[in-house]
Amino acid sequence: MQFYMPTELITGEHCVVENAAKLARYGKRCLIVTGGSAAARSGALQDAEEALRSQGISFTHYAGIEPNPTLASCQEGGRLAQEAGAEFVLGIGGGSPLDAAKAVSVFAANPGMTEEIFYSAKWDHAPLPIVLIGTTAGTGSEVTSVSVLTDSAGKKHSIHDRRVYAALAMGDARYTMTLPRAATLSTGIDAICHCIESYFSKKADPFSRLFSVQGVRLGLPVLRQVAEMGAEEQPTLQQREALYQASILGGMAINPTGTVFPHNVGYYLTEHYGIPHGFASATFLPELLKHVRQQAPELCERFYKACGTGEEELTALAKRVVPVRGIRLSEDEIRAALPRWENNGTVRNTVGTVTMEEIADMLRKEF
């Protein structure tokens, strides 16, 4: 059994402003890293600025993080952090800005570092301290040592490195109240996928499974309610809070295990067809459930019993939340894509054995 998650996590209404004094630990200047407008729309940016000002911390704001952020944007952020003399990096947003903030802090401390060295993890200097404020209930990036970035060839890669754990992470479910319905569903199902994929990783242990199960127990009933809501209806703060907690539990679960094949096969859909990350992973969730039913039936049974759910319910939910796609993959395209999953660590970590034929079959079936 292994556990290592050194981030100080604080969640709750108004936690950012109330815990402003903690920010002073990390320095007098910071670079704020966000995407386009969600950080401000959520209210998180304003709270963060108020908290920084109350501590006399000056800041520069870099709002250049796109969805599925590129390494180039992170390099640019690193350059800005350096220029501004930032002593720490404050990421605000969903998975993209938070993952990017981690990479920005690496580049800020290692000017001129190449993409190759970044991915090799042979960094000369430790990253700047990282503070993260989550505004979606999905990624769990607040509590993981994972950063998923798109390289210069357009391919999503994740790094797992304990040096990119945030020093401090704060989450206030109020910030998720402004999420549009599709984003709530996509991030929500991402959190559920984290919990489930982690549970069925070869690296899972009693601790990680504790987080997985609790994440599903908390998040699943609420996500189902949200999926069934009319277009006009909005989740309550209490529902948002449950989804947020589930996303944190999902993050805690994947730290020691990583994800398994749905995430990695899903990357392909995001890279090539722009399908949002959560929907891309959820596309292959029913396939994972079928796989583990066949290859690890007892574990499967134990999981469903602990979570109070079953394959049918999870499959139905995944199908319900993922929007209909107008995509067709040709046999040639499938054949051309397969090599990326051979000897892929994420795919190999799935319990049982995942063959390339199995992946080809699921791509044929889904598209």
Residues in contact with a copy of itself by the rule CB under 8 A: 1-12, 143, 206, 210, 214, 218, 245
* Element spanning 91, H or E: strand 88-93
Q: What residues are paired with 134 via a beta bridge?
A: 93, 171
What is the sign of the dihedral through the CA atoms of 287, 288, 289 and 294? positive
Provide the minimum distance between the beta carbon of 176 and a copy of itself in the complex, in angstroms, as a whole number: 15
Provide the minimum distance between the beta carbon of 211 and a copy of itself in the complex, in angstroms, as a whole number: 8
User: What does the CA dihedral 119, 120, 124, 129 come to, rounded to 10 degrees?
Assistant: 40
Provide the minimum distance between the beta carbon of 125 and a copy of itself in the complex, in angstroms, as a whole number: 17
Q: Which residue has the tokens 């990017």?
A: 100
Question: Rounded to whole angstroms, how far apart are CA atoms 74 and 127?
Answer: 13
Provide the minimum distance between the beta carbon of 5 and a copy of itself in the complex, in angstroms, as a whole number: 7
| CB neighbours of residue 79 within 10 Å | 16
Comparison of 155 and 162: residue with beta carbon closer to a copy of itself = 162
Comparison of 12 and 43: residue with beta carbon closer to a copy of itself = 12
Provide the minimum distance between the beta carbon of 224 and a copy of itself in the complex, in angstroms, as a whole number: 20
Comparison of 168 and 282: residue with beta carbon closer to a copy of itself = 168
Chain centroid, CA 88 distance in Å: 21
Provide the minimum distance between the beta carbon of 3 and a copy of itself in the complex, in angstroms, as a whole number: 4
Provide the minimum distance between the beta carbon of 352 and a copy of itself in the complex, in angstroms, as a whole number: 23
Comparison of 93 and 215: residue with beta carbon closer to a copy of itself = 215
Concatenated DSSP letters of 291-350: HHHHH-HHHHHHHHHHHT--HHHHHHHHHHHSPP------HHHHHHHGGGGTT-HHHHTB
Comparison of 47 and 358: residue with beta carbon closer to a copy of itself = 47
Comparison of 2 and 46: residue with beta carbon closer to a copy of itself = 2
Question: Rounded to whole angstroms, how far apart are CA atoms 139 and 188?
Answer: 9
Comparison of 96 and 245: residue with beta carbon closer to a copy of itself = 245
Residues ≥6 apart with Cβ < 8 Å to 343: none
Question: Rounded to whole angstroms, how far apart are CA atoms 284 and 299?
Answer: 19
CB 179 within 8 A of CB 136: yes
